[in-house]
């Protein structure tokens, strides 16, 4: 993977006053301790989420079924149904929730630094609308049938790539990608592709098209399978690792282009690389889960309040916090009104809106200015 320039260490290292920072405060807890605690919480959350549902399975039995699946062990004949529910249905779903929650949180941190906007999230560049339009187009037209059950996801990914290319071409100027132009172009593309979806549904008014639009607009993990995990796993892991390695450069980028250039960071090249990386990661996630809002917007701000504004720390903690939140949001979505399932985007919005409003009203917390 192409490497991006790291920030040259200044004589007196500046405080990374990124979007929503409130000063040089950070948690007194050591970072390794926080990571260990969050990993333990995530592990317990995953185990409980796999076992809970319409057919609840005790944690001990859940562990035994998982161990049997991983080691090729045997189970009793009367346990086959419970085993299949645990291993074939719930486990890939919960793993997908972990991956998407972690990925959206990490990408949200990067995009807020890239466009220097505290209100930015992984979908501000119109990727979600393009993915939704691509999925709906494939669903109603029957295209990409050669891909079988992955046709709709492939259409969503291609739609996301199309929007990313259009946003890049429309936003590129003599000085590279301008943050404000990126945001405005992304918003315009989002409205444009939402209109495309509306036209498709209008001319093909069947239940399948409508349900497809709802799923890709609100998101969900109900279609998770083991076959859908490898691509999104690679996208999330690679993006999270690369973004954390770019933490110092993101600190400097958040100070402004002029300051970044004076400290040895090629802002045009860095922003271009971030755009490509975040677009590919977001497209891969949306292709398997739909557009799940507020996670990539709120989680970065909550983590900054906890561990400070340094991007290395934020990009270490935000994926874990986002993964934990998404696991529990998915559990609520599939159990609150069982046997029906709520769109997970509705759950994240119900949580994210009051949290975001609280942050707005919090004294000392700045969303890009006073």
Structural domains in the chain? 101-361 (1.10.3470.10)
Phi, psi of 179 (to 5 degrees): -55, -50
Q: What is the pLDDT of residue 155?
A: 86
Residue that the structure tokens 């393009």 belong to? 130
Query: Taking residues 5-19, what's their average pLDDT?
Result: 47
What's the mean pLDDT when you consider all of the chain?
A: 83
**Residue 249 and residue 270 in contact, taking contact as beta carbons nearer than 8 Å:** yes
Total length of the chain: 370
Indicate the pLDDT class of residue 206, thresholds 50, 70 and 90: low
Strands (E), 88-129: none
Asked if the model's pLDDT at residue 49 lies above 50, the reply is yes
3-state class (DSSP) for residue 52:
coil
Q: How far is 124 from 102, CA to CA, in rounded Å?
A: 18
- pLDDT tens-digit readout, 302-318: 999 889 889 999 999 99
Token readout for 2 is 């192409």
CB 193, CB 133: distance < 8 Å? yes
Q: How confident is the model at residue 182 (pLDDT cuts 50, 70, 90)?
A: confident
Tokens, residue 13? 């290292």
Query: Does position 368 have pLDDT exceeding 50, yes or no?
Result: no
Asked if the model's pLDDT at residue 227 lies above 80, the reply is: yes
Specify whether the CB–CB gap between 288 and 236 falls below 8 A.
Answer: no
- Please state whether the peptide bond connecting residue 338 to the residue before it is cis, i.e. omega within 30 degrees of 0: no
Share of the chain above pLDDT 90, in %: 34
Is the CB of residue 4 less than 8 Å from the CB of residue 270? yes
Give 253-278 as a 3 state SS string.
HCCCHHHHHHCCCCHHHHHHHHHHHH
Distance between CA 355 and CA 301 in Å, rounded?
Answer: 10
> Can you state the percent helix, strand and coil of the chain, rounding each to 5?
70, 0, 30
Is the pLDDT assigned to residue 16 strictly greater than 80? Answer: no
Q: Report residue 242 as tokens.
A: 């690369």
Predicted confidence (pLDDT) per residue in 232-288, tens digit:
999 999 999 999 999 999 998 888 778 877 888 888 888 889 989 998 899 889 888
Question: What does pTM read for this prediction?
Answer: 0.86
pLDDT at 97 over 80: yes
């Amino acid at each position: 993977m192409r490497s991006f320039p790291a920030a040259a260490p200044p004589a007196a290292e500046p405080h990374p006053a990124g979007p929503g920072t409130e000063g040089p405060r950070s948690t007194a807890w050591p970072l390794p301790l926080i990571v260990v605690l969050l990993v333990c919480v995530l592990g317990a959350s995953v185990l409980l989420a796999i076992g809970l549902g319409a057919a609840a399975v005790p944690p001990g039995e859940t562990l035994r079924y998982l161990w049997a699946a991983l080691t090729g062990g045997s189970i009793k004949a009367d346990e086959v149904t419970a085993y299949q529910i645990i291993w074939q249905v719930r486990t890939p779903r919960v793993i997908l929730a972990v991956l998407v929650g972690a990925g959206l949180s990490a990408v949200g941190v990067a995009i807020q630094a890239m466009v220097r906007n505290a209100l930015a999230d992984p979908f501000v560049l119109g990727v979600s609308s393009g993915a939704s339009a691509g999925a709906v187009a494939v669903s109603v037209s029957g295209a990409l049938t050669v891909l079988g059950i992955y046709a709709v996801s492939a259409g969503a990914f291609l739609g996301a790539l199309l929007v990313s290319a259009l946003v890049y071409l429309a936003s590129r100027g003599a000085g590279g990608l301008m943050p404000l132009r990126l945001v405005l172009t992304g918003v315009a593309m989002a409205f444009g592709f939402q209109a495309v979806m509306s036209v498709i549904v209008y001319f093909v008014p069947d239940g399948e098209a409508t349900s497809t639009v709802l799923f890709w607009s609100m998101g969900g993990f109900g279609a998770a399978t083991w076959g859908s995990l490898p691509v999104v796993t690679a996208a999330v892991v690679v993006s999270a690792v690369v973004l954390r390695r770019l933490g110092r450069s993101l600190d400097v980028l958040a100070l402004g282009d002029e300051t970044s250039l004076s400290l040895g960071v090629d802002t045009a090249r860095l922003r271009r690389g971030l755009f490509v990386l975040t677009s590919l990661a977001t497209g891969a996630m949306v292709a398997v889960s739909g557009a799940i809002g507020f996670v990539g917007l709120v989680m970065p701000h909550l983590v900054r309040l906890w561990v400070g504004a340094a991007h290395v720390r934020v990009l270490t903690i935000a994926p874990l916090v986002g993964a934990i939140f998404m696991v529990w949001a998915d559990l609520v979505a599939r159990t609150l009104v069982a046997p029906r399932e709520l769109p997970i985007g509705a759950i994240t919005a119900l949580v994210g809106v009051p949290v975001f409003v609280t942050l707005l009203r919090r004294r000392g917390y700045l969303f890009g200015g006073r």
